[in-house]
């Protein structure tokens, strides 16, 4: 039922496509972590206007499907003169979408630090900045690792939607094979297995990382 020769032929094609998926997720992860942390910093300033930006950003980006954000960025923004190629559009959308979730992860992890520690450090004469860098960051960032890993897997799954705006990652590649060669089982089997393997791989790497950074 499964054509092994065809499977062998498709393997390199899917390998290239998987690398594109990985590149897209890596870009989205890097951008998302940076933006999420920046947003978290805004909130930590305790300035009302900045906290409001944080709130609006996380609420809006988490309350609307990734696909719609992608449509706004890729099809909508050219109307105001901002055109991006499919990879950049998908990477930007993934970053801003992921950033909203990463910001919430940082917020949750910062909340796990007992207030008493921060008060004690302030009493001992540490500045607000020192408290942030030496007391809060080391603990909260460690705690955030498993949550970030999980969110990375979610981003990897969202990245499949980049196929809709014609970025030739795994899902679009499978669709192309199906429409050109009229075979269904082999490409979809490879497609599902590729994503499954990537998920398990991210999970495994994440656990190693979590163990390394654990106190």
Contact 39, 58 (CB under 8 A): yes
Q: Does 188 bind another protein (CB under 8 A)?
A: yes
Other CB atoms within a 10 A radius of the CB of residue 64 amount to 13
Is residue 38 at the binding interface for another protein, with CB under 8 A as the rule? no
Contact code string over 136-175 relative to another protein, x by CB under 8 A: ----------xx--x--xx--xxxxx-xx------x--xx
Q: Minimal distance in Å, beta carbon 96 to another protein?
A: 13
Pick the closer one to another protein by CB: 95 or 194. 194
Piece of 4-12, 38-46, 118-126, 196-204 that binds another protein (CB under 8 A): 196-204
Task: Please identify, using beta-carbon distances, which residue of 140 and 202 lies nearer to another protein.
Answer: 202
Shortest Å distance, C-beta 188 to another protein = 5
Q: How far is the CB of 45 from another protein (least distance, A)?
A: 26
Residue among 14, 54, 66, 167 that touches another protein (CB under 8 A): 66
Judged by the rule CB under 8 A, the positions of this chain that interact with another protein are 59-60, 63-69, 71-72, 75-80, 146-147, 150, 153-154, 157-161, 163-164, 171, 174-175, 178, 184-185, 188, 191-192, 195-196, 199-200, 202-203
């Amino acid at each position: 039922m499964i054509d092994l020769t065809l499977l062998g032929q498709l393997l390199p094609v899917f390998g290239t496509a998987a690398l594109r998926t990985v590149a897209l997720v890596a870009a989205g992860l890097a951008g998302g972590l940076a933006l999420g942390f920046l947003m978290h910093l805004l909130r930590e300033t305790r300035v009302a206007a900045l906290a409001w930006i944080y709130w609006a950003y996380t609420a809006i980006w988490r309350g609307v499907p990734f696909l719609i954000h992608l449509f706004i960025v890729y099809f909508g923004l050219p109307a105001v003169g901002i055109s991006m190629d499919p990879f950049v559009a998908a990477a930007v959308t993934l970053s801003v979408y992921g950033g909203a979730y990463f910001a919430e992860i940082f917020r949750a992890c910062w909340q796990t630090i007992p207030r008493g520690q921060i008060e004690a450090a302030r009493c001992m004469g540490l500045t607000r900045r020192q408290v942030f860098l030496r007391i809060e960051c080391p603990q909260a960032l460690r705690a955030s690792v498993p949550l970030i890993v999980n969110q990375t897997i979610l981003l990897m799954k969202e990245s499949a939607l980049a196929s809709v705006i014609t970025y030739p990652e795994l899902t679009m590649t499978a669709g192309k094979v199906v429409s050109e060669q009229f075979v269904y089982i082999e490409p979809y089997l490879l497609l599902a297995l590729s994503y499954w393997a990537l998920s398990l791989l991210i999970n495994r790497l994440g656990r190693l990382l979590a163990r390394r950074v654990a106190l």
